[in-house]
Amino acid sequence: MARKAVAAVLTAGAAAGIAFWRRRRRPAEHVDVYASDGSMVSFAPGSPAGDRLLPLARRVLAAARG
């Protein structure tokens, strides 16, 4: 019983660690696009779509704050 509990805690800890690591690895700048079926595509800077969409987003920010 105790072994099972330890295993569960270790598994949960590993999962949390992986999630945290993946989150940290994520580029600070990105564009996440969601479709009606629930799917999501993420565009990072350096990709053709990311390099097109991020400047547009900056224009929205500038227009809203300017």
Q: Which is nearer to other proteins, 2 or 39 (CB)?
A: 39
Q: Which stretch binds other proteins (CB under 8 A): 2-10, 13-21, 42-50?
A: 42-50
Q: Which is nearer to other proteins, 13 or 52 (CB)?
A: 52
Closest CA to 31 of 21, 12, 44, 19: 44
33 binds other proteins (CB under 8 A): yes
CB proximity list for 27: less than 8 A, separation 6 or greater: 44, 45
Q: Which residues bind other proteins (CB under 8 A)?
A: 28-37, 39, 41, 43, 48-49, 52-54, 56-61, 63-65
